[in-house]
Amino acid sequence: MNKPNDWEETYAADGQGNGSTLPKGGYLCKVKTAKVEQTKTGKDVLVVAFDISDGEYKGFFQQKFDSDDRAEKKWRGIYRLILTKNDGKTNPFFKGFITSIEASNKGYMWNWEEKTLKDKVFGGLFSIEEYYGNDGQVRSTTKCNLAISVQKLNEGDYKLPQDYLIEKKENVSNSDNSGFYAVPNTEDDDDLPF
């Protein structure tokens, strides 16, 4: 048997959150890249790629990416923020993210250049989100749903966001035998978990 090259760096997954799934909670995060994209409905969205930068799960998303052997693998540490609400006014969660970045990175002032977010840190609050997989089964993932300052994170001065769970009903199929499955009803397709 040959020892894999990444043996020392790989998490030992035990089904209890050690490497296989990021437990919900608060984590120190560092921005890898940030860019503005447009949603299907024409809204600007800030797409922030980040990784966990401290503690037991440091480098969690990099390790997941590196160990993914699929041809079209994706970076999983993504935080999306729509810049404006439907009425064209500032999205408070976008402003919350920016003020958290400013408070967490001494001397940094937001200048409307998303590339300047690279290497900035923030406190990421993660919760569980359920969704229907391609097989119609309920799956779950842990996602960053809120940003806070590093100071608040370190002081434990936060409340975790609510989990987004699909209501489970006994003996009810989510399929109408057409091959399509019900998905959560959302105001905007951009809130879907895929």
Is residue 145 very low, low, confident or very high in pLDDT (cuts 50, 70, 90)? Answer: very high
| pTM of the model as a whole | 0.75
pLDDT greater than 60 at residue 10: no
Average pLDDT (123-137) is: 92
Q: How many residues does the chain have?
A: 194
| Per-residue model confidence (pLDDT) at position 18 | 42
| Per-residue model confidence (pLDDT) at position 14 | 43
Structure tokens at 20: 């296989």
Integer-rounded Cα radius of gyration of the chain:
18
| Per-residue model confidence (pLDDT) at position 175 | 46
pLDDT greater than 50 at residue 48: yes
Q: How many CA atoms lie within 13 A of 60 on its CB side?
A: 27
Q: How far apart are CA 35 and CA 14, in angstroms?
A: 35
Q: How far apart are CA 95 and CA 102, in angstroms?
A: 11
pLDDT mean across residues, the chain: 84
Of 143-147, 149-153, 181-185, least confident by mean pLDDT is 181-185
pLDDT greater than 60 at residue 122: yes
Of 111-120, 127-136, 164-173, least confident by mean pLDDT is 164-173
Query: Do residues 65 and 75 lie in contact, with contact meaning Cβ atoms separated by under 8 Å?
Result: yes
DSSP 109: -
Q: How far apart are CA 35 and CA 18, in angstroms?
A: 31
pLDDT greater than 60 at residue 177: no
Q: How far apart are CA 59 and CA 70, in angstroms?
A: 20
